[in-house]
Chains A and B, each alone.
Chain A
Amino acid sequence: MDLSRAKTVLICTFLILNIFLLYQILLNERGGNTGLFGRKEEMSRLEAALQEAGLSLEVPLPKGGVRLAYMIVEPWHFQLQDIVVPLLEALPGEKKVLEEFNNNGFYPSSSENSLSVYHIGEYQLLVAKEGRITLKRLGWGKSVNSFSIEESEQAARQIINKVSFLNNLIYDYSQKYTNETAINFRQEYEGLPLYAGYLQILMRGVTPAALYFYRLEPVGLAEQIREIIPPSTALLRFTETYREKNEKAGIIEFSLGFYSQEYDAERWEIPPVWRIRLDNGEIYYINAFTGILEQ
């Protein structure tokens, strides 16, 4: 074989090899993995930790290597009337309550430091100082026929589509209880999930039994952008906390968003979090900067 042909063969071989290597690298990066060497070690550590905590991972971990900043938010200012009237209008068959409400005015039936309670027809409205609103239907005359989750979801979507301040919420997930189904929606800012802003509609069949609503006004992202901790690290930190519970559960969602508890404040910063949702209905938020479980 002459040298020229040998070179050609070698060039072709190395070209194929490089293409294969490149493909593997891209595949790994898309999956959020950092390298064969570290990944194997990390994955075995993670598996052991999950097993020890009684957890099973039922979803793939999202990719890491993301840079984020705190999200700056302000409370959503509202007039109570502007909330209640559209809600009552949207609720099926509540025209009579709405009339009564419009005629009798709007006065709290009791008020404590942090919570005001109103009664509107069969509904009880609770307004917390931080801005959290709860609307509960108190009277239930007859038992409810059984409906599927999809039917309840459909009915809930119809309600929020009728209310202007709700229709920009994003569907999050649903949870089935014995008599009710919780349909959860969340806020979003520039494509980033904002778990701190939410609407939960508790449906009895296709009729809403309660609404839990809290909304924030995102101002923007803070200037300082930093790399967040990888999902595997967040999961490891979570297993350390969950281990103390000594209960078995499956992780059915692992996602990135923004979350903090509700504050009675003018303006605050919300950290990025890894949200871990379990099959028993529990939700945990791991601060994606510090790895601390957000209380």
Chain B
Amino acid sequence: MLEKLKSILLACLILSSMFLTYRLWFGKPPLEKGSSPYYEYAYFTPAPLLSAIVQPSEIIFSEGEEIYLFYRGEKQYVDLWEKGLQLIEDRLKVEMATHTSKESIAELLKTAPATLVYNFNPPVPLEYLVTGSANWYVNSIEKIIFIWEREQLDVFLEGEDLLCITVPDVEYSPEDFLPAIKKPYMRLPSFLALDFGNQDAGAEPDNTEEAFAADEIEGEETSGEAIEELPEELGFLTEVEINVASDIYLPLEDIYAAEVTLQKEELQQEKLVRAFFLDLSMARRIEERDGALYFTNGEKGLRIYPSGLLEYTAPHQERRQSDISYSAALQKGAESHALYGGWMPDIYLSEAEEVGGGYRFIWRAFLDGFILEGGDIGIEMLINEQGVSFYRRMCYVFGEELAGRKPFCSYKEAVAQALLLKKERLTKNKVTLLSLKPVYYFLQGENIEKAVPAWHIHFAETGVIYLRWDTLEPLI
């Protein structure tokens, strides 16, 4: 019996010594055993197609002296861009492109019966529109011009270089392209004199190149209602010469608009934090005194303000700079945008700027062709090879119109009012008009947030001023 016990004890001791030797050699298993955690990016919306990342800032169709414009957020714009894109994808053979000069296209534009221009501001990488083009041309495109000749269609791709591709046997006519409803536009002359006493002088639309070059404006009826009698306080305007710095197009017909309610974009907080930090437990939560919530892992931070403004900073990404191409930055930015809150249907890329080794992108919302401006509205992103170093997002969803639509006051009245309001900043009799456009202006009331139609008027001397569309009161 004793011998049996001894045998069992010996066996136990041998086994335990083997186990202890193993433990001493390899150590104890980790406290949390298992495979390394697997994280999956939770995208709010799918990343967009390459062709949807940069869309035209405006589409201009000219036929003789008629000009029709289509802006982002308009149904006609969407249709026209889809058709244009289809044509580019189906029929454009980049390998057949030839280099051409800007002078030759200017000649063609004068004689062409119909032209369709897609303006890209910011520019679009050609490879986003035409598959395989990266092997041929790497330039970004600022303008795509379709010029219809009898049996063929000439397509010009304008960037740093100007490329021409001829599409033979084209079955697309300008009529096939144009939407049924279209608004005629005029281009402002290069000098705008606000002579209210004489309707025929100074402020008429000018759609012809000849007239544009001569700066002699005659004959045509203006769309804006000229002020019959010049009020005393506007007397100084008779001596002010307005230089129009860039192409400014305005509708010939009255523009109707109404105030529109805005609803804050609601993003699921947990999903949002996960998008930035992957592992929720790695982000610690800080409740700030102003009501904002701040999440950080010590290296990067995400602040969600009570107003809905979202701000993400990763300073270490900014420090580690390495060059990234425009095309790669756009693609990476679009994917990050899909992850950090997602793409909204009315949001378009409206600015792109090279900063250090990376890029700064700004997206803005559009409704019926009008951009939504004012406040912190929009999305801003700084991106480089390492990733996103800064992201700010404040988005609203357009709601219902608050009242019936009313026409915009004429652009002349708006320009006069803007100059009157900024009179003290005018040191000379010359001012330079940089931009003039109807927009929506974000206004935050006590209980309601709304988009107010407004004239956006930008003089080089005074900066941007927003005036209510119906009363021309300044909006602040």
Contact = CB atoms under 8 A, between A and B. Distances in A.
Interface string A1-27: 001100110110011011001101100
B276 to A, nearest CB: 14
B425 interface: no
Query: Chain A contact residues: over half helix, strand or loop, or mixed?
Result: mixed
A226 B287 contact: no
B31 interface: yes
Contacts of A70: 284
A269 to B, nearest CB: 4
Contacts, number: 109
Contact of B27 (A15, A34, A264, A266): A34
B31 to A, nearest CB: 5
Interface in B134-180: none
Interface in B2-41: 3, 6-7, 9-10, 13-14, 16-17, 20-21, 23-28, 30-32
B289 interface: yes
A208 interface: no
B23 to A, nearest CB: 6
Contact of A21 (B6, B20, B299): B20
A238 interface: no
Contacts of B14: 14
A139 to B, nearest CB: 36
Contact of B24 (A25, A263, A269, A293): A25
Contacts of A10: 10, 13
Contact of A295 (B24, B27, B30, B298): B298
A220 interface: no
A37 B27 CA distance: 8
Contacts of B286: 263, 265, 267-269
Nearest to B315: A295
Interface stretch (A90-98, A197-205, A284-292): A284-292
B2 to A, nearest CB: 8
Interface in B189-228: none
B285 interface: yes
Interface residues of A, number: 46
Contacts of A269: 284-286
Contact of A33 (B7, B27, B298): B27
A174 to B, nearest CB: 28
B20 A8 contact: no
A50 B88 CA distance: 59
A120 to B, nearest CB: 27
A81 interface: no
Contacts of A25: 20, 23-24
B282 A264 contact: no
B307 interface: no
B16 A268 contact: no
Interface string B269-288: 00000000000011011111
Contacts of A17: 17
B238 interface: no
Contacts of A38: 26-27
B297 interface: yes
B294 interface: yes
Contact of B287 (A35, A265, A292): A265
15 contacts: A11-B13, A15-B13, A28-B27, A33-B27, A35-B25, A36-B25, A227-B31, A227-B32, A260-B298, A263-B294, A265-B294, A266-B288, A289-B281, A293-B298, A295-B315
User: Nearest 6 pairs between A and B by C-beta?
Assistant: A35-B27, A14-B13, A269-B284, A268-B286, A34-B27, A21-B20
Interface of B: 3, 6-7, 9-10, 13-14, 16-17, 20-21, 23-28, 30-32, 281-282, 284-289, 294, 297-299, 315
